[in-house]
Amino acid sequence: MRSPVTLRAQLFGTKANMLLTLALAAVGLFILGSVVRWAFIDSLWKETYEGQCATVPGACWAVIHARYRLILFGLYPYEEHWRSALACVVALSIVVLSCMPRFWSLTRLVAIWLCGAAIFVLLMRGGIPGLPLVTTDKWGGLALTLYVYLSTIIIGVPLGIILALGRQSDLPAIRIVVTMVVDFVRSIPILAVVFCAALFAPFILPGWLNPDTLYRVIAAFAFFFSCYYAMIVTGGIQAVAPGQYDAAAALGLGYWRCRLLIVMPQALRTALPATVNHMVITLKETSVLIIIGMFELTASGNAALQSGAWQQYYVEVYIFVSLIYFTLSFSLSRYGAYLERKMRVGSISR
């Protein structure tokens, strides 16, 4: 980190630097003032009569007030929106509980994931007395985004670890096959994988092995995630000192006990920053579902603009959607930074 004296000298050390600093500061303040004026001072938060937004020079946040249900819940039946909202709370609760150290045991995490997933699906799908059936093609908005994302992480992380161990296997057949599969998947874009899962898989797979489109897409996302995550874990495994293997052998630990008790804890800790980064990227990649006609958060935002009265206020809608993505991504990155500090990743001393 630069000292204040050095920074002051760089910004105001000479007349040229001082003039340039003041000019850039003035431009920045002008832009900031214009944005604040547009977003808050001259904006309209709720229409009292139709067409009022056209009379204000600033942002029309009334579009969010009028269309937030469609943005957040997509095509989900209007009278059942409470179920979708409650399902979002359940999904976020799964994340919060999984991040708490007191629940960091395999038994507790599996129980949280299984119970949370069952409650989420029960709320969204229904089909029991008191909850009308809502098929997956009617799911949308934030609930669909969270469901696809969390399912991808829950399935993809253990699968990625298995693939990483396969790449490091002493058996040439396993190592070569896993390496070829991982390299092939990493060489194609996520859009191609999603298209194949959503559109082409029904023509290839037999009927008994052909689930709903949503679950095919989740499987595709999870496998794509696991192949990239396998390379991250592989890097962590390679960072483990060779002496660790020798020490494990001297203690009489077999292959699997050595990997599970000695190698993987160190590898996953080393790979933590890259893991968090990959999870953030995956969250934003869920927006590609709009290409295959699924009403995830971005698609629901687009649908909110289809009404002729609100088409010109797309900036406000996209800002609202972006803030949701930003909140989720920023929270995840901050938690990753907390784990790095807690586990002393990336530094020798604190």
The tens digit of pLDDT for each residue in 140-187 reads: 999 999 999 999 999 999 999 999 999 999 899 999 999 999 999 999
The CATH code for residues 61-340 is: 1.10.3720.10
pLDDT of residue 4: 55
pLDDT tens per residue, range 278-322: 999 999 999 999 999 899 999 999 999 887 789 899 999 999 999
349 has a pLDDT exceeding 70: no
User: Angle at the Cα of 137 (from 136 to 139), degrees rounded to 5?
Assistant: 65
- Burial of residue 165 (number of CB atoms within 10 Å: 0-12, 13-18, 19+): buried
Mean pLDDT in the chain? 91
Which residue type occupies 216?
A: R
pLDDT tens per residue, range 69-110: 999 999 999 999 999 999 999 999 999 999 998 998 889 999
pLDDT tens per residue, range 39-73: 999 999 999 888 899 899 999 999 999 999 999 99
Task: Give dist(CA 3, CA 224) in Å, integer.
Answer: 44
What DSSP line would sit under 149-196, residue for residue? HHHHHHHHHHHHHHHHHHHT-SSHHHHHHHHHHHHHHHTS-HHHHHHI
pLDDT tens per residue, range 228-255: 999 999 999 999 999 998 999 898 998 8
Both tokens of 287, joined, read: 């927006």
Q: Considering only residues 211 and 94, tell me which one the structure prediction assigns the higher pLDDT.
A: 94
Instruction: Kindly report the pTM of this predicted structure.
Output: 0.91
Supply the Cα-derived Rg of the chain in whole angstroms: 25
Both tokens of 143, joined, read: 């609930």
Q: Considering only residues 153 and 3, tell me which one the structure prediction assigns the higher pLDDT.
A: 153
Both tokens of 262, joined, read: 């000695």
Both tokens of 130, joined, read: 């008191």
- Burial of residue 245 (number of CB atoms within 10 Å: 0-12, 13-18, 19+): middle
The DSSP bridge partners found for residue 140 are 295
7 has a pLDDT exceeding 90: no
